[in-house]
Amino acid sequence: MSSLQGGYSLTHIAAGIAVVALLMLGVGFYAIYQELASLRSQVEGLNTRYEEISESLEEVQGAFESSRGDIESIASSLESIQDRVSKIEERLGSAATQSDLDAVARELASLTQQLEDLQARIQALEESGAEAGERLDQLAMALQDLQARLASLEERVDEVYASLYFPVTVVDGTGTPVVLLERPERIVSMAPSATETLYYVGALDRVVGVDQYSDFPPELNEAKEAGEVEVIGGYWNPSIEAILSLEPDLVVGVASVPNHIQVKKVLSAYGIPVILLPDNSLEDVRESMMIVGKATGEVVGAYEAVLKFDMAVAAAGLLLEGVDPVETAVVVWPNPLFVVGGGTWEHEVIELAGGVNVYGDTQGWPQVSYESLLEADPDVIILMGGHSDGGVTVEGFIEALESQLGEAAREIDAVASRRIYVLLDEYNDSFARPSPRTVLSIYVLAVLIQPSAFDIQPGDLPSEVSPETLDVLGLLEGRVPEEVLEFLGEALG
């Protein structure tokens, strides 16, 4: 956090990252950026024209609504005139004096004038309707032209990618160079973190298959229910047959899963490119975005995602600057006891959130003894509870502690102060998956570990922590830039 001191603002940080990004991309990216900037300018012009057309349509609709009122008024007037004519006919039938005839004549003169006025209004309405019809025809033609021009622009963008990006070689998390001859159009993801990375760089619309645990963003679940995206098996054991049946031109997994490495070996023999993403640290999350961006032709989207990610991380550092770190243990599984150790992205999240990982001197996600937790004596314990039906509860964890440690369990500061929390649903997923969403978990853990930084007391926090029980984004309003809030909100779907 010391690197954020000395008056540097998020604007400076963002600008610095952008400059570094451009330098790294080099001349090739600059040419692409110029072409895309031109296309974006044209799209903005079309969007402006579309808005103008939409406003015109609203005006026409308003004119029709107004005309409807006039027509209803005319109909009402005609009914009134018809009624008055009937009365005149009755009076004519019983007219006996000159004064009665004079009164009838005056009434007829009045009706004649009203009918002339109504005729003029009807003629004006007919002319207005004809003009509105012509405007609608013109607008319809303009919209058709817009659609054709936008379709043409999309084709040009694809051509830019195809001509300037491909063929392309990427080096994945296993250190293996992978060659993609063309822009992939049928992508399969074998891991939730890979799926989420594809989404953030802008390639989700080309995904045709995912593992059973991929459930973000929400539109992915809709696509699965509609049969537009197939499930290719589990995270640990994807089905090679299911993957082959989808005829993919790119498969994405993670380098830490042995079966993903096996899939890579098998599919490579079929000539199918497979990239396995690094997934041990937050730096690996950044690198994964760039690997996926380059492999899918979404380099601009990847750089934008990395920039937003880094801004959100930097904002957390500024928010928690100067706090006293709190000793924290994160439990992956309560019985037997597995915890978050060093060398993991979760370890980095704990430290960025203002905590000190009491198991930071271990590696990975080791199984430890309950006695070690008593000896470590953390001030805060966070349980990874999965989803709401995962069965992990604070009460169950305390019972497990007491069954192993007896009364000594209550000597652990976190137990004594009831600062034990269960992460659930989106909050748990953002912490458990090394993807761009991970940045959300920094703020969630910060609220639990450093509640005073958000002007709340530990006793005000729920023991089960999910978006339904703790509004972290609400606590961040006015404390972080609006752009960061938007990025974090996206992580919630």
- pLDDT tens-digit readout, 344-387: 999 999 999 999 999 999 999 999 999 999 999 999 999 999 87
Selection from 389, 444, 397 nearest residue 420 by Cα = 397
- pLDDT tens-digit readout, 188-215: 999 999 999 999 999 999 999 999 999 9
| Token pair of 175 as six digits | 């250190």
Query: Per-residue confidence at 342, pLDDT binned at 50, 70, 90?
Result: very high
| pLDDT over 60 (residue 157) | no
> In the chain, pLDDT over 90 holds for what percent of residues?
65
* Separation between Cα atoms, residue 218 and residue 195, nearest integer Å: 12
Check for a shared fold between 177-297 and 312-491.
Answer: yes
Task: Give the 3-state secondary structure of the chain.
Answer: CHHHCCCCCHHHHHHHHHHHHHHHHHHHHHHHHHHHHHHHHHHHHHHHHHHHHHHHHHHHHHHHHHHHHHHHHHHHHHHHHHHHHHHHHHHHHHCCCHHHHHHHHHHHHHHHHHHHHHHHHHHHHHHHHHHHHHHHHHHHHHHHHHHHHHHHHHHHHHHHHHHHCCCEEEECCCCCEEEECCCCCCEEECCHHHHHHHHHHCCHHHEEEECCCCCCCHHHHHHHHCCCCEECECCCCECHHHHHHCCCCEEEEECCCHHHHHHHHHHHCCCCCEEEECCCCHHHHHHHHHHHHHHHCCHHHHHHHHHHHHHHHHHHHHHCCCCCCEEEEEEEECCCCEECCECCHHHHHHHHCCEEECCCCCECCCECCHHHHHHHCCCEEEEECCCCCCCCCHHHHHHHHHHHHHHHHHHCHHHHCCCEEEECHHHHHHHHCCCCCHHHHHHHHHHHHCHHHHCCCHHHCCCEECCCCCCHHHHHCCCCCHHHHHHHHHHCC
Looking at the chain, how many residues does it have?
A: 493
Mean pLDDT on 283-311: 97
Higher pLDDT, 2 or 401: 401
CATH homologous superfamily of 312-491 equals Nitrogenase molybdenum iron protein domain (3.40.50.1980)
Q: 352 near 381, Cβ under 8 Å?
A: no
Query: Per-residue confidence at 7, pLDDT binned at 50, 70, 90?
Result: very low
pLDDT at 194: 98
* Separation between Cα atoms, residue 287 and residue 22, nearest integer Å: 16
Q: What are phi and psi of 189, to 5 degrees?
A: -110, 135
Instruction: Give Cα 366 distance to the centre of its chain.
Output: 33
CB atoms within 10 A of CB 66: 12
| Token pair of 158 as six digits | 């694809």
Mean pLDDT of the chain: 83
pLDDT at 302: 96
pTM comes to 0.71
pLDDT at 6: 38
* Separation between Cα atoms, residue 189 and residue 274, nearest integer Å: 10
Mean pLDDT on 65-93: 61
Q: Picking from 89-98, 236-245, 411-420, which range would have the lowest pLDDT averaged per residue? A: 89-98
> Helix axis angle, 438-449 relative to 425-432, nearest 10°?
110
Per-domain boundaries in the chain: 42-164, 177-297, 312-491
Terminal-to-terminal C-alpha distance of the chain: 29
Q: 487 near 476, Cβ under 8 Å?
A: no
Q: 298 near 29, Cβ under 8 Å?
A: no
pLDDT at 98: 58
Q: 5 near 318, Cβ under 8 Å?
A: no
For tokens 């004119």, what's the residue? 63
For tokens 């604007």, what's the residue? 11
Q: What is the CATH number of domain 177-297?
A: 3.40.50.1980
- Identity of the highest mean pLDDT range in 11-20, 71-80, 109-118, 393-402: 393-402
- pLDDT tens-digit readout, 217-271: 999 999 999 999 999 999 999 999 999 999 999 999 999 999 999 999 999 999 9
